[in-house]
Structure 1
Amino acid sequence: NKDDIKVIGIRHGEKMYETLLTNEECAKAIDLGGFYRVPADNRGLNYDKYFKDGDAERNKLTEFNSNNTKLLNKEEIIEKMMQLDYIKERLAEE
């Protein structure tokens, strides 16, 4: 019964969302449309270029996480699942 449900809020230590791409990764991420590609971090240990020179254009994106991305609705989830070979094979068995 919905009347028996009481919303008490978030529990102590409970995650609100999953981080999918950090701010630092966003700075180097390549937007490929439906996903981001993050190149390997091959930086050296010379930190002068970060602390002395800087890069004002470094990061135009913000953290990408499950709280600020598009959530699929029921129909979109079904459509996505219907593209999976496993699902197609199981449906063909019936």
Structure 2
Amino acid sequence: IEIQEIGLRPGEKMYEELMTYDESTMALELPDMFVIPSSYGEKNHYTQAKKATEGTYSSNDQKQISKEEVFTLLKSQTLI
């Protein structure tokens, strides 16, 4: 199959914004994830969480993982 690289399309991004600055001001950090609690309902359901550092969280700021790391991750989750 021939693959032709055509570049970005209008509106297409090279990264994903995972959490905006405004979201980070109320976000909580757990050992394996961040939680952005709802402004409605129970407050601080996550008793083991600490306040997240304020800032923008983006996939653009992260180191790319290798093909071997992707393979290991998929295998560890029994996806392959």
Question: Which structure has the highest helix share of the two?
Answer: 1
TM over 0.5: yes
The runs of 4+ residues in structure 1 deviating greater than 3 Å are 9-14
Q: CA 1:11–1:28 in 2, change beyond 3 Å: closer, same or farther?
A: same
RMSD between aligned residues: 3.0
What is the distance in 2 between the residues matched to 1:35 and 1:60? Answer: 13
TM-score for the superposition, normalised by structure 1: 0.52
Query: How high is the TM-score relative to the length of structure 2?
Result: 0.59
Fraction of identical pairs, as percent: 33
Residue correspondences, number? 67
Q: Tell me, yes or no, if structure 1 residue 85 matches structure 2 residue 78.
A: yes
- List gaps (5 residues or longer) in structure 2: 1-6, 41-51
Residues 43-54 of structure 1 mapped to structure 2, 5 A cutoff: none
Gaps of at least 5 residues in structure 1 are 1-8, 43-58, 88-94
- 3-state SS of 1:85 partner: coil
Task: Give the partner amino acid of 1:19.
Answer: E
